[in-house]
Amino acid sequence: MVYELLRHINYDKFQIKICCLYGPGSIGEMLMAEGIDVSHSFMRNKYDLIGIYRFLSLLKKSRVDLLYINHGVLDLFWGFICGKMLKVPSIVSVVHTMVNPCPWVRFKSRLINKLIMHRLDKIVVVSKARMDSLIKEYNLMPEKLILIRNSVDMNRFTDFKEYKNGLRQEIGISEDEKVIGMVGRLVYEKAYDIFLTSAHKISKLIPNSKFLIIGDGRERPALEALTLRLGIKKQVIFLGERQDIPQLISLFDVAVLSSRIESFPVALLEYMAASRPIIATNVGGNTEIILNGETGCIVPPEDAEAIAKAVIELLNNRKKAEEMGKAAKKIVEDRFSLKDMIDKMEKFFLDCVEKNH
């Protein structure tokens, strides 16, 4: 949401100042590559109070009317503290993710959320599932939250027929091989271990199958080791972080999202925009995106057997897979357009500023 919002927001209406407490990250680098100003690297570590002073000075100089905090433990804590010190008229946050599985991170997040969430003017959530969980966990009033779902830029998903052959050759996939792919960070929450276990089962019945993993993260070494133990190393291709995700998704015969935890994954919207048939787990906001049996298949989490069975069924029924892909693209065009999301965010910003002034 943040990347597309900052690329497409109306800069005639808003004067935007983008700040990253640490490094710019991949999103910040992409924005800077497009000529968008990004201030970053204020803090060397989480105890760097001099860095916080630099951030505070920048906020003061910018005379901020609305502080929009991308939800993260330190971002929320320091953003809120600095905003209150400067008496910023409106302080809001956006919550993208579901609960972190790490007990220590979960404890810190819960503590800071309890201290701050009730004091924010508004909280943007990207899924009904996340809204319900926040209301229940922190006893928030429903009017404190506003639902603005993620979207996808359909212009990025054109016909890539002329690129497919060259792309297949580049990554080592022959014309007769079936491609099953997944996009996302290589972290525990995404359950790539379940995806690879299902790949092992699929490859037994469909030997000419290849499995593409697009993304990177701390779990990569363990996942690469798992392919060795499962005996599928030659069939799994780790592509790391890529900028040509739409083109790569166009190679998928079936797209998978095996997550243990989700809020409202952009990967599903990208699969749909590319007209790919989808297998996704029944977690978070996935069922707010996919109509089971029509635009994709919903399976239980942690169930490699169910994923394998659903993938094999779609690979063996090309007509059904194509119908699912077409229906999925129509849904994303009708319900998750980028313009609609930008319009809602702009209205939200203006309403916050007008109310608090």
Report whether 181 contacts 237 (CB < 8 A). no
For 220-275, write each residue's pLDDT tens digit.
999 999 999 999 999 999 999 998 999 999 999 999 999 999 999 999 999 999 99
For 339-356, write each residue's pLDDT tens digit.
999 999 999 999 999 887
pLDDT of residue 98: 58
pTM of the model: 0.91
Instruction: Indicate if the pLDDT at residue 59 is higher than 80.
Output: yes
For 306-319, write each residue's pLDDT tens digit.
999 999 999 999 99
- What whole-number percentage of the chain has pLDDT above 90? 80
Give me the helices (H) in 139-177, please: 161-171
What mean pLDDT do residues 131-139 have?
A: 92
Residues of the chain with CATH 3.40.50.2000: 2-151+338-356, 154-335
pLDDT of residue 344: 95
Instruction: Indicate if the pLDDT at residue 280 is higher than 90.
Output: yes
Instruction: Indicate if the pLDDT at residue 166 is higher than 90.
Output: no
pLDDT of residue 100: 62
For 70-87, write each residue's pLDDT tens digit.
878 889 999 999 999 999
Instruction: Indicate if the pLDDT at residue 9 is higher than 70.
Output: yes
What confidence tier does 291 reach under pLDDT thresholds 50, 70, 90?
very high
The helix/strand/coil state of 37 is: coil
For 238-253, write each residue's pLDDT tens digit.
999 998 999 999 999 9
pLDDT of residue 162: 67
For 88-112, write each residue's pLDDT tens digit.
999 999 988 756 666 767 788 888 8
pLDDT of residue 52: 94
For 16-28, write each residue's pLDDT tens digit.
999 999 999 888 9
DSSP, residue by residue, 239-297: EES-S-HHHHHTT-SEEEE--SS-SS-HHHHHHHHTT--EEEES-TTHHHH--BTTTBE
DSSP H or E segment with residue 41: none
For 116-130, write each residue's pLDDT tens digit.
999 999 999 999 999
Q: What is the CATH number of domain 2-151+338-356?
A: 3.40.50.2000
pLDDT of residue 47: 86
Task: Look at strands 254-257 and 236-240 and give their pairing.
Answer: unpaired
For 180-218, write each residue's pLDDT tens digit.
999 999 999 999 999 999 999 999 999 999 999 999 999
What confidence tier does 357 reach under pLDDT thresholds 50, 70, 90?
low
Q: Rounded distance, CA 43 to CA 60, Å?
A: 17
Give the chain's radius of gyration (CA, Å): 21
pLDDT of residue 38: 93
Q: Rounded distance, CA 72 to CA 27, Å?
A: 15
What confidence tier does 3 reach under pLDDT thresholds 50, 70, 90?
confident
Amino acid at 226: L
What CATH class has 154-335?
alpha beta
pLDDT of residue 34: 87
Residues 6+ apart with CB under 8 A from 18: 6, 28, 31, 36, 37, 38, 39
